[in-house]
Homo-oligomer: A and B are copies of this chain.
Amino acid sequence: MERLKVLLHINEASRWPALLTGAANLVNDVGPEKIAIEVVANGEAVTVFANFGQGAAEAASGAVLRGEMERLAGVGVDFVLCRNALAMYSVPGHCLPSFARVVPAGITEIIRKQLQGYAYVKP
């Protein structure tokens, strides 16, 4: 059976918990081998990666998010970041997690994936 394919779009940092909960529910519901999940983060959503490298409370909440992202990456979830957004919000390259992939423009990636049969969901 072909995998279900979904593109999860996030452009506001406050939506990361909802997005990660949605991705985890989906993996639990259909099984990791039956789903292909790509997360595309652009706009202000990428600022959460800057927090990974600094601060106190922000570092703590950033670490919780990163932990859950790593767990999901380990079961096959693909994390894609928009280079335009990283530049606009001055997120340093050394802050990016190794499991994330950078594309020139997140919005183009979102369109191309839909052409490839991915459903679009914005958590």
- Which residues of A are in contact with B by a Cβ distance under 8 Å? 4-6, 9, 11, 18, 21-22, 25-26, 28-30, 42-44, 82, 84, 88, 104-108, 110-112, 114-115, 119-123
Chain B residues contacting A44 (CB-CB under 8 Å) are: 18
- The 8 Å CB contact of A26, one of B26, B29, B108, B119, is B108
What is the interface of chain A mostly: helix, strand, loop, or mixed? Answer: helix
- The 8 Å CB contact of A18, one of B29, B30, B43, B123, is B43
Looking at A9, A18, A119, the one whose CB has the most chain B CB atoms below 10 A away is A119
Chain B residues contacting A4 (CB-CB under 8 Å) are: 108, 111-112, 115
Q: Is the CB of B108 within 8 A of A119?
A: no
